[in-house]
Chain A
Amino acid sequence: MNAADVNAWFVREVLPLEAGLIRFLSRRWRNQKDVEDLLQDVYMRVYEAAQKEMPHPVRPFVFTVARNLLINRSRREHVVAIQSVADVDLLNVFDEEPGPERNVMAREELVRLQEALDQLPPRAREAVILRKIEGLSRREIAERMGIAEQTVNRHLTDGMYALAELLWGKP
């Protein structure tokens, strides 16, 4: 599979499922602290599978990967949690194609971005606005905000991190 195709596919088809996946994982896994790592694992497995062959339809495949991961984890940790994984629920998941998250992304992306931007920490938000909306250079941002360029870099890195969390992960 062409690497650029896989990457574009992952961004287009899989990332919009993130909020739903987080909900799925946290409902079925006891320790909420693990959910972020579980999500990473699901993404890795899905990405690696797509390098061999792109799954279709995407949504049931992704949720099946998530379910199997939970089952394996439970077995490994000798926790009898599997059922976590009520098949009933999964059937509902399958029915939802193309999925409410997708529609939201298509219809309201700008609003969603704006909301995400609004929730950034104040300094990071200011830096992101100056960079993305005003199109200032990092040096200009440093001057405008009256801080060192290195601090601008840190705010922008934080801003990118938080923007990704909010844009993909927020229900």
Chain B
Amino acid sequence: MSDETLNARDVKTLAADWRDRQDREDWSAEDQSALDAWLKQSSAHMVAYLRVDAAWSRADRLTALRGSTPRRDAAPATRNRRPIFFRIAAAVVVLGIAGYAATNFLTPHPKYQTYATQVGGSETIRLPDGSRIELNTNTVLRTELSGGHRFVALEKGEAYFDIVHDAQRPLIVQVGKQRIVDLGTQFSVHRDEGRLEIKLVEGRAQFESENGAKLALLTPGDVLVKRGAALTVTRKTERVLSDELSWRRGMLTFLHTPLSEVARELNRYNREKIVIADASVARLTMNGAIPATSISAFTNTARDVFGLKVETRGTNIVISR
């Protein structure tokens, strides 16, 4: 029977301990019966033991490496580790550089480039300097890269920036009439109908007006929201931010979120639109993570868990009591 009070880490530690004792010279018949008894106590014990035992037995194959290891007697053992892997890794690195040089040579990174994703789509852009930009659903982004500067304009939608900092060439993200100047950083920017939201995950970034007037200096956890002339900065925990950015893994995470808002989020990612028919339904809240492009995950919950009616009308999916 499954006993959920067993802590997996404790069980694995005990299993490793048994396996290790079994490997010692003083292992006796009594020890073996004690082990057998422990294994019979719970299948959690059994699977943890099988798991560590299999890993340890397979490690015997490591003796295959012995022949390739120069014999040494007094030298510390750490000197002769990783013979094979090292060589493979080195080969991969060389290929990598050659491959990179070749693609770079054949298709030089264009100075101006526009990227767009469809509803429900996503794309990761890798810049030559090693920076990464992840585009979320329904997003348009323009890059302008030259020796002298790095400029990106978010025309619409949402993107996550993981920027390799270069003090000589700070990356500038233009959003409408404002811009964000990276000071070594990871952040997301979401632009939606007159509302702009920046979430700063790591490092620092400066939020400025178009003419360079400094509006805010953002540090990790800061969430800046600008709607019209109103600008607020709030602080969120790392956990909350990471939930809010779970779209990067294709998921939407909710915590006591009203269904109206869940629907609004999902509608960003899907051509079918969820319509919540009455206010009492809109106020229901849910927790958990849903794949962003799976409307059925949501409608199944609405039907099975909340007992709501789900009707398809054209591209609308109407949820009601």
Q: Which residue of B lies closest to A16 (CB)?
A: B54
Q: Is B289 interfacial (CB-CB < 8 Å)?
A: yes
A48 touches B61 (CB 8 A): no
Q: How far is the CA of A113 from the CA of B84 in the complex (A)?
A: 11
B64 at the interface (CB under 8 A from A): yes
Q: A40-B8, A114-B62 are in contact. Are A80 and B286 (CB under 8 A)?
A: yes
Q: How far is the CA of A134 from the CA of B62 in the complex (A)?
A: 10
Among the 9-residue stretches B73-81, B122-130, B182-190, the one with 4 or more Cβ atoms under 8 Å from chain A is B73-81
Q: Are A7 and B25 in contact (CB under 8 A)?
A: no
Are B20 and A7 in touch, CB under 8 angstroms?
no
- The CA-CA distance from A113 to B58 in the complex, in Å, is 8
Q: How large is the interface on B (under 10, 10 to 19, 20 to 34, 35 or more residues)?
A: 35 or more
B81 / chain A contacts, CB cutoff of 8 Å: 117-118, 125, 129
User: Which chain A residue lies CB-closest to B71?
Assistant: A134
In the complex, are the beta carbons of B59 and A113 less than 8 A apart? yes
Per-position contact with A for B277-321: 1 when CB-CB < 8 Å, else 0? Answer: 000000000111111001011101100111000000000000000
Once A113-B59, A157-B16 are accepted as A-B contacts, the answer to whether A133 and B66 lie under 8 Å apart by CB is: yes
CB of A44 to closest CB in B, whole Å: 5
A82 touches B249 (CB 8 A): no
- With contact pairs A37-B7, A40-B6, A168-B51 given, residues A157 and B20 touching in the complex (Cβ less than 8 Å): yes
Residues of chain B contacted by A134 (CB below 8 angstroms) = 66, 77
Chain B residues near A126: list those with CB within 8 A.
76-78
A28 interface residue per 8 A CB criterion: yes
Q: 16 A-B pairs, CB-CB below 8 angstroms? A: A30-B287, A36-B9, A80-B286, A86-B294, A86-B297, A88-B297, A113-B61, A115-B85, A117-B82, A126-B77, A129-B77, A129-B78, A138-B25, A163-B59, A164-B12, A167-B58
Beyond the given A84-B297, A157-B19, please list 11 additional residue pairs across the A-B interface where CB-CB is below 8 A: A7-B50, A43-B43, A43-B47, A47-B46, A86-B294, A109-B61, A114-B82, A118-B81, A118-B85, A132-B62, A138-B24
List residues of B whose CB falls within 8 A of some A CB: 1-2, 4, 6-9, 11-13, 16-17, 19-20, 23-25, 42-44, 46-48, 50-52, 54-56, 58-66, 69, 76-78, 80-82, 84-85, 88, 243, 249, 251, 253, 286-291, 294, 296-298, 300-301, 304-306
